[in-house]
Amino acid sequence: MSAAPGAVPAELAERALAWQADDPDPRTAAELGSLLEAARSGEEGALDELADAFSGPLQFGTAGLRGAMGPGPFRMNLAVVSRAARGLADHLIGRLGGAGTDEAPLVVIGHDARHNSRAFAEASAAIMTAAGLRVRLSDRQCPTPLVAFATRHLEADAGVVVTASHNPPADNGYKVYLGGRASEVDGRGVQIVPPADAEIAARIAAVGAVRDIPRAASGWGELGEDVREAYLDAICALPLPDAPRDVRIVHTSMHGVGHETAMAAFSRVGFTEVHPVAKQADPDPDFPTVSFPNPEEPGAIDLALELARTVEADVVIANDPDADRCAAAAFDPHLGDWRMLRGDELGVLLGAHLIAAHDYRGVFANSVVSSRWLSRIAEAAGREAATTLTGFKWIARTPGIVFGYEEAIGYCVLPDVVRDKDGLSTALVVAEMAAMAKAEGRTLIGMLDALARQGGLYATEQLSVRVEDLALLGEMMTRLRRRPPTALGGSEVGEVRDLAEGSVETTGLPPTDGMLLATADDARVIVRPSGTEPKLKCYLEVIEAVEPDADDAALGAARAAAARHLAAIVEDVREALGVS
């Protein structure tokens, strides 16, 4: 800031005071007052924090809202949520009409166990009811897939989940689905995409003073046990009734809201030997045993692996805090220890299993940054494969989809039930796969080995470049576009594709900011700015030939070769981007 030390620019102070006066939550109003006073007194960091809280409105996009909780327009708080609720209500009424009648738009609302989630959900119900919508609010905390299910099951016109998924404890979010009359057929119960996000954002921007937003004291219905039972019935119908159930499972819900539903589903299907990680089973918004509540993060499943070794488990299954993602770990005989499966590895295992065991017929879809392995498995089995833009808002809209996944441990195994990633139905399929593998004297790692013998070993890696200045992302992308590398990992780059210049006709994808590089030896690199973090993300994939009769030593050699190949490409990509 350009002001003298201890001074708060007049415009910033005026905006803060106006926000404080309009804040419906006395706690954040008081917090803002304290922050403003700290900035005025010159307390270190206070002015920067105040300026950041008012650096702009928290943008409503294709994932709805997500950010740190606190006062101000660039934070998650009751004022921001109230505007979002009224804006979404105005959008639905503008499109569908019927406010205050039996034909009014129907909205289902759920929430996780994070700080303020219940309050944000209740406020949304009160505001939407006052606007003339029909509302069903979850009677208690619930997994995100339950709301995605309810949006389709109840033919609701929209679904809202107050959740920040696997973000840090200080965050919260507001995820929106459209359905019923408010969406096209392939988008019912799917996260919003353009132009709906911009249309809703415009409605939110048009909302006046927060304190003037009408709120009903009652009048909404309950999203309760009937919907939970219907969801459980739907996902528990997936595992084959005559398939093996003899498998020892360790499960963690990562301090989130998935434990109760996961345990009920495992029991109902017949997986009786399930060992939950006790310290992570109950919902806790502070996530005390993990530094970052994402199963992919280093250390996040250490307690689960420790329990797996103790009970001699066959598989570890982990859900993220809102249970829309699923991860798995297994004992790897090549390493002599347990390891987490990569998102792509679990994706191809699930796809291959649904083809071989369940005879799934239809389209198998994954995002462009995910492995090509699934498409080649699907096509070899006579199924159709599709590649989409990154994110389940695109994957789930694939016409004819029967299975979809993204490398960030998101899987959709029942698109007619939940048209989004669903970590709970996926957990049942992982358990089924592990039980069938055990009955055959194999493991999930052995199933991957078998797939490698059929079509080669696909190995992936990621390189993330975090920046402080967002302008650096554009500079790195410009550098790559102007001077793409001529070779990667010792192989000539034979294809350079600017995904921003593509079209559905030429690339099969709508334009998106990214670069694709492919080499003569079938390695591939995709570089794109992250949509949620100040990062440039690079997705690498190599393929190593494997003979159909390869033994463990040959497979180990192929893995080592793939690791060396990926490491060499990482260094070449760093050089091309100009980063050390």
What tokens does 525 get? 């690199």
Nearest Cα residue to 117 out of 291, 229, 283, 252: 283
Rounded to an integer, what distance in angstroms lies between the CA atom of residue 23 and that of residue 74?
14
Q: Which residues of 41-54 are buried (b: 16+ CB within 10 A; e: fewer)?
A: eeeeebbeebbebb
Question: What domains appear along the chain, each with residue ranges and CATH number?
Answer: 1-55 (no CATH), 57-223 (3.40.120.10), 230-454 (3.40.120.10), 456-577 (3.30.310.50)
Query: What is the distance of C-alpha 226 from the center of its chain?
Result: 26
Residue 6 pLDDT: 57
Rounded to an integer, what distance in angstroms lies between the CA atom of residue 359 and that of residue 353?
9
Residue 62 pLDDT: 67
Q: Residue 233: how many CB atoms within 10 A of its CB?
A: 11
φ, ψ for residue 384, nearest 5 deg: -90, 140
DSSP 104: S
Nearest Cα residue to 529 out of 552, 546, 550, 513: 513
- For 2, residues 6+ apart whose C-beta sits below 8 A from its C-beta are 9
Rounded to an integer, what distance in angstroms lies between the CA atom of residue 232 and that of residue 261?
8
Nearest Cα residue to 99 out of 132, 56, 126, 57: 132
Contact 276, 310 (CB under 8 A): no
Residue 1 pLDDT: 41
Contact 474, 530 (CB under 8 A): no
Rounded to an integer, what distance in angstroms lies between the CA atom of residue 245 and that of residue 434?
9
Rounded to an integer, what distance in angstroms lies between the CA atom of residue 388 and that of residue 365?
7
> What are the residue ranges of helices labelled H in 321-464?
343-356, 373-380, 392-395, 423-439, 444-455
Contact 301, 252 (CB under 8 A): yes
Contact 167, 67 (CB under 8 A): no
- For 113, residues 6+ apart whose C-beta sits below 8 A from its C-beta are 141, 256, 257, 283, 284, 285, 321
How far lies 375's CA from each of 352, 496, 538, in Å? 10, 21, 20
* SS3 assignment for 129-163: HHCCCEEEEECCCCCHHHHHHHHHHCCCCEEEEEC
What tokens does 204 get? 């939110």
Below-70 pLDDT ranges, the chain: 1-6, 62, 502-508, 532
Rounded to an integer, what distance in angstroms lies between the CA atom of residue 405 and that of residue 344?
8
487-491 — which CB contacts under 8 Å span 24+ positions? 487/519, 487/572, 488/517, 488/519, 488/523, 488/525, 488/568, 488/569, 488/572, 488/573, 489/519, 489/521, 489/523, 489/542, 489/565, 489/566, 489/568, 489/569, 489/572, 490/568, 491/519, 491/520, 491/521, 491/523
Length of the chain: 580
How far lies 378's CA from each of 207, 334, 365, 402, in Å? 48, 27, 10, 11
Give the orientation angle of helix 117-130 with respect to helix 78-96, to 10 degrees. Answer: 40
Strands 106-111 vs 158-162: parallel, antiparallel or unpaired: parallel
- For 456, residues 6+ apart whose C-beta sits below 8 A from its C-beta are 543, 544, 545, 546
Which SS3 state, helix, strand or coil, does residue 220 take?
A: coil
Question: Active-site positions?
Answer: 165
Contact 574, 462 (CB under 8 A): no
What tokens does 85 get? 């609720």
Residue 531 pLDDT: 72
Contact 219, 124 (CB under 8 A): no
What tokens does 439 get? 């009955």
Rounded to an integer, what distance in angstroms lies between the CA atom of residue 480 and that of residue 280?
43
Rounded to an integer, what distance in angstroms lies between the CA atom of residue 166 and that of residue 171?
9
